[in-house]
Structure 1
Amino acid sequence: MTDRFLLSSLALAVALSALPASAQTAFPTPRTPSLSLPAGTGSASSNRTADFIVALVNSEPITNHDVRQRLRQVEQNIAQRNIANAPPRAELARQVLEQLINERAQIQFATESGVRVSESDIDQTEQNIAAQNQLGREEFRRRLASEGIELNRFRAELRQQMLLQRVREREVDSRLRVSDADVDDYLREQQNGNDITSLELNLSHVLVSVPENASEAQVAERQARAQRVADRARAGEDFATLAREFSDAPERVNGGQFGWRQATRLPDLFVNSTRALAPGAIAGPVRSLAGFHVLKLNDKRGGGLPDMTVTQTRVSHILLRPGPQLTQQAAQARLNEFRQRIASGQASFEALARENSQDGSAAGGGALGWASPGMFVPEFEQAMNGLQPGQVSEPVVSRFGVHLIRVDERRTVPLDERERRERVRGVVREQKLEEALALWARDVRARAYVEIREEPQL
Structure 2
Amino acid sequence: MSVSSLRAAALLLALAGSLLSPLSAPAQPANAKPPLDTRSGPTPKAAVAEEAAARARRVPGDHIAVVVNSEVVTAGEVAARTERARGELERRGERADLDALRKEAQDALVDERVLVTHAREAGAKIEEGELDRVVAGVAAQNRLTLPQLLDRLRQEGTDVKRFRENMRDQMLIERVRDAEVIRRIRVSDGEIDKLLEERRAEAAAKAPLNLAQILIPVPEGASTEQRESRRREAEGALKRVMGGEDFAAVARELSQDGNRSGGGEIGLRAADRLPDLFVSAVAGLNSGQIRPSLVESGVGFHVLKVLERQSGPDGSKVTETRARHILLRPSDKLPPQAAAQQLAEMKRAVEAGKAKFEELAAKFSADGSAAQGGDLGWAPPGQFVPEFEAAMGELAPLAISEPFQSQFGLHIVQVMERREVAVDPRQQREQLRGVLRERKFGDAYKEWVADLRAKAFIEMRDAPL
Please state which band the TM-score falls in when normalised by the shorter chain.
0.3 to 0.5
Larger-Rg structure: 2
With the length of structure 1 as denominator, give the TM-score of the two structures. 0.46
With the length of structure 2 as denominator, give the TM-score of the two structures. 0.46
